[in-house]
Amino acid sequence: MMLASEYVDRAAQAGVTLDGAPLCCHATTRRGTACQRVPLPGSQYCPSHKHLEEGLEPIAA
């Protein structure tokens, strides 16, 4: 499990998904299409949409 966790962490830091595709921002544009920009390191959003992450707070389990 440790090896798998390291692999996932390295892929995220490299800016690619587990299958090698580049990461995309999780936001949508004003037209309703998916944003195609690369997210900031350690974030789900690109520089234009980074303000959307500020409202997210982790859910306590």
**Run of H or E including 2:** helix 2-14
Q: What is the pLDDT of residue 47?
A: 92
Tell me how many domains the chain contains: 1
Asked whether the beta carbons of 26 and 37 are under 8 A apart, the reply is no
Please check the confidence at residue 55 and state whether its pLDDT lies above 70: no
pLDDT value at residue 33: 94
The verdict on pTM exceeding 0.75 is no
Q: What is the pLDDT of residues 11-45, one digit of tens each?
A: 766 667 777 777 888 899 899 999 999 888 878 89
Give the pLDDT confidence score for residue 17 in this predicted structure.
73
Does residue 44 lie within any of the structural domains? yes
- CA pair distance 22, 33, nearest whole angstrom: 17
> Quick check: is 51 in a domain?
yes
Is residue 39 in some structural domain?
Answer: yes
